[in-house]
Amino acid sequence: MNTLLLNYKDDLWALYDDLGNTEGVREFLEVIRSAGEAVDSTDDLVTLLKGVGYRFIEKYSPECDFKQLELINAISTVLIPHLSNEKARVAFSEFMALFKLYGIRLLDDALANLQEDKYYLINKEGAGFDVLSNYYYLPLRLSKLLGYFSQLLLIDEGEAEKVSAFLDLVRKNYSGHLVVMSEEQAPYLHSFFGVYNALGKGEQVKDLLISYLRDYIGCEGQVAALNLPAEDTLKFLVQRYTQNKVNIEYKSNPDSLGSSLLLQSNVYGIGEDVNLVLHALDRHSFHLFIPGNIDQFGEKTIENGFNMVLRCGSNFWTCKEFNDIVKEHFDKYSEIDLSSLSFTEKYSSVASSFVQPDRIPLMV
């Protein structure tokens, strides 16, 4: 184990000093995943993840950069293919409990600060409130909060009242920022609406879904690509709001965010309303990842996964047709039984998708 850590020492220390963005956490995932592949047993993997994981997690405070929660989800992702092992399951539960602890702290912190300062979530650094930070990154930050709080509700539904209070403050102060901006929002919004529906609370957030759908259709599905370089985000933003067309190199094509919103429109009973304006997305392409099994949410390389692309106006004309095609392909290519998903399967797929946004948990 000591020799293994020495082999990855430089990579780990470099990440420890600089986890300032989402890509840093994804790099952390790849390093610990590679290190995990080199150990001799699941026991050694658990020892590695606990030793390295706690050191990284304890470095950060529960503020709105979400770093602790991202790190916990990355570690949980590496454990997914090993959950048949008792020691791995125990470790997974321990990190889940840690997510709950820091998730509640984040929720309490967000609530307290928003009640004191309604501009709390806005980046106040820079001249005149930096445009890029607050018009590009603020919608992403809000989506992440929605996603993480829905993940918290999977563990502890007892926090629902506080989450509802947070949502009320968001509606009051940030309604103009409940918009689609980037493909990175896809897993967070999918899980948020999926969890609320699964908990029988869908009516409480239907207005938010309508807001996101209205904006997605209004911008004709033009959302920024995953990992869009910082120097291109302003170009994307200007084109999104001032031109009818965003350059292809800046946008996600096809995108999974629209796929999730169309699927949720069926679940929430607003598919017929969306159909009336679906022509605005004519010839737009939608992407979906269909997992062969739950383990694929934790694997580095997916050998037998299935990716599909559907085009509006060619493969489907209505939300129901889109939903039916997805279900048909899910039943055909996935071993996952949607009727008997365990809590751990649902939770692990959500946790994984937040650090691997190209793997949306359709089953949630």
Q: State the DSSP H helix or E strand holding residue 340, giving kind and residue range, or none if neither.
A: none
Q: How far apart are alpha carbons 91 and 309 in whole angstroms?
A: 37
193 CB-near residues (< 8 Å, 6+ apart): 202, 205, 208, 209, 260, 264, 267, 268
Q: CA 24, 29, 34: angle at the middle one, nearest 5?
A: 125
Q: Report how far apart, in Å, the C-alpha atoms of 136 and of each of 55, 229, 237 are.
A: 32, 12, 7
Are 225 and 285 within 8 A, CB to CB?
no
* 217 touches 180 (CB < 8 A): no
- Give pLDDT tens digits for 165-183: 999 999 999 999 999 999 9
Alpha-carbon distance of 326 to 307, in angstroms, equals 11
Which one has a higher pLDDT value, 305 or 254?
254
Does 128 have pLDDT greater than 50? no
For the segment 42-56, the average pLDDT, to the nearest whole number, is 87
Helix (H, G, I), strand (E, B) or coil at 150: helix
Mean pLDDT taken over the chain: 88
Phi, psi of 71 (to 5 degrees): -65, -45
Give residue-wise pLDDT tens across range 226-241: 989 888 988 999 899 8
Token pair 């996600």 is at which residue? 252
Binned at pLDDT 50, 70 and 90, residue 127 comes out as very low
Q: What is the pTM of this model?
A: 0.93
* Backbone torsions φ then ψ of 5, nearest 5 degrees: -65, -35
C-beta of residue 52 within 8 angstroms of C-beta of residue 39? no
Distance CA 271, CA 326 (A): 15
Whether the bond into 254 is cis, omega within 30 of 0: yes
Tokens at 126, concatenated:
């820079």
Task: Please tell me the distance from the alpha carbon of residue 173 to that of residue 353, in angstroms, as a whole number.
Answer: 28
The whole-number average pLDDT for the span 90-107 is 95
Q: State the greatest distance between any 2 C-alpha atoms of the chain, in Å, as a whole number.
A: 62
Cα gap 182→192, rounded to integer Å: 16
- What per-residue confidence (pLDDT) applies to 163? 98
From residue 250, how far is each of 182, 226, 229, 240, 358 by CA, in Å?
A: 10, 9, 9, 10, 17
CA–CA gap between residue 127 and residue 136 (Å, rounded)? 16
More confident residue, 173 or 364: 173
Are the C-beta atoms of 75 and 67 separated by less than 8 Å?
no
Please, are residues 1 and 48 in contact by the beta-carbon 8 Å criterion? yes
| E strand map for the chain | 285-290, 306-311
Q: Find where tokens 């047709």 sit.
A: 321
- DSSP secondary structure string, 284-319? -EEEEEE-SSGGGGT-SS-SS-EEEEEEBTTTBSSH
Alpha-carbon distances of 11 from 29, 53, 91, rounded to whole Å: 11, 14, 24
pLDDT, tens digit (0-9, with 9 covering 90-100), for 199-230: 999 999 999 999 999 999 999 999 999 989 88
